């Protein structure tokens, strides 16, 4: 099974991808993590990414798709994977489709998490993660059970991203609506787009996604 988690920043894509990963054994793939790993590993495509990054240039779609192609060839992806944060443009979606077709693969579902912009700003502004195990939390929606202590590892140090503020989130939402939202009709035409209510609770969103995946 090959999934794409789709939605604006802060919609909860990463949270749901982690839950799917635990239940179905799919591998959650983040383009940022893959780029860093390829760069550090010194692979051919990783060296191209390193050159672009160190020269201050944007990593091209060709390089990103090449890194994804290398990554999904590894054994842990044989049962499927989840793409979180990619593609972001129609051109990237077309390049991804071409690469998958060449490998004899195709997308199973594109899961859109539909969320109101005002809610997004509130969600992102309250996010923080455990510095030790990276477990994610939120001031309002998912606080730690014991204040100041991570539920998972017992850590007491937490991190808030400096760009998780209302002004930056509003700017990212604007870019999302202009550049990424056009992917919806692209995937709808392919018949793989599935929409869930991203404003529901984490458990309810997970239930809706599981319903999509088991049909």
Mean pLDDT of the chain: 89
Q: In 3D, which of 182, 4, 185 has the Cα closest to residue 108?
A: 4
Burial class (CB in 10 A: 0-12, 13-18, 19+), 72: buried
Mean pLDDT of 185-204: 93
Question: Do 205 and 114 touch, CB atoms closer than 8 A?
Answer: no
Chain segment 47-99, per-residue pLDDT in tens? 888 887 777 777 788 888 998 998 999 999 998 999 987 898 899 999 999 99
Percentage of residues of the chain with pLDDT beyond 70: 100
Q: In 3D, which of 72, 132, 137 has the Cα closest to residue 107?
A: 72
Instruction: For residue 110, name the pLDDT band (cuts at 50, 70, 90).
Output: very high
Q: Residue 53 corresponds to which tokens in the numbers above?
A: 């990054």
Question: Do 81 and 5 touch, CB atoms closer than 8 A?
Answer: no
In terms of pLDDT, which residue wins out, 165 or 202? Answer: 202
pLDDT at 156: 96
Question: Do 113 and 5 touch, CB atoms closer than 8 A?
Answer: yes
pLDDT at 77: 92
Q: Which residues are catalytic?
A: 13, 88, 127, 161, 172
pLDDT at 186: 94
Q: In 3D, which of 41, 32, 189, 199 has the Cα closest to residue 107?
A: 189
pLDDT at 55: 78
Distance CA 106, CA 2 (A): 7
pLDDT at 3: 95
Distance CA 151, CA 156 (A): 10
Distance CA 109, CA 191 (A): 9
Mean pLDDT of 124-139: 90
- Residue 87: cis peptide before it, omega within 30 degrees of 0: yes
Instruction: For residue 194, name the pLDDT band (cuts at 50, 70, 90).
Output: very high
- Matching residue, tokens 């989130």: 169
pLDDT at 181: 83
Q: Residue 140 corresponds to which tokens in the numbers above?
A: 């309002």
pLDDT at 104: 94
Q: Residue 126 corresponds to which tokens in the numbers above?
A: 């309250």
Assess whether pLDDT exceeds 90 at residue 38.
no
Q: Residue 200 corresponds to which tokens in the numbers above?
A: 């529901």
pLDDT at 158: 96
């Amino acid at each position: 099974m090959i999934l794409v988690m789709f939605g604006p920043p802060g919609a909860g894509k990463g949270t749901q991808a982690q839950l799917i990963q635990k239940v179905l054994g799919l591998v959650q793939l983040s383009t940022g993590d893959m780029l860093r790993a390829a760069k550090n590993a010194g692979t051919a495509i990783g060296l191209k990414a390193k050159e672009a990054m160190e020269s201050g240039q944007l990593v091209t779609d060709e390089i990103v798709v090449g890194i994804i192609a290398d990554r999904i060839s590894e054994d842990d992806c044989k049962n499927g994977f989840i793409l979180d944060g990619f593609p972001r443009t129609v051109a990237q979606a077309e390049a991804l489709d071409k690469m998958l077709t060449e490998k004899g693969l195709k997308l199973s579902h594109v899961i859109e998490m539909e969320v109101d912009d005002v809610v997004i700003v509130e969600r992102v502004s309250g996010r923080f993660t455990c510095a030790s195990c990276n477990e994610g939390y939120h001031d309002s929606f998912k606080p730690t059970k014991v204040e100041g202590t991570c539920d998972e590892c017992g850590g007491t140090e937490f991190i808030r991203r400096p760009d998780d503020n209302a002004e930056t989130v509003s700017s990212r939402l604007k870019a999302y609506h202009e550049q990424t939202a056009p992917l919806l009709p692209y995937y709808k035409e392919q018949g793989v787009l599935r929409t869930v209510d991203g404003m529901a609770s984490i458990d309810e969103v997970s239930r809706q996604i599981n319903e999509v995946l088991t049909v």
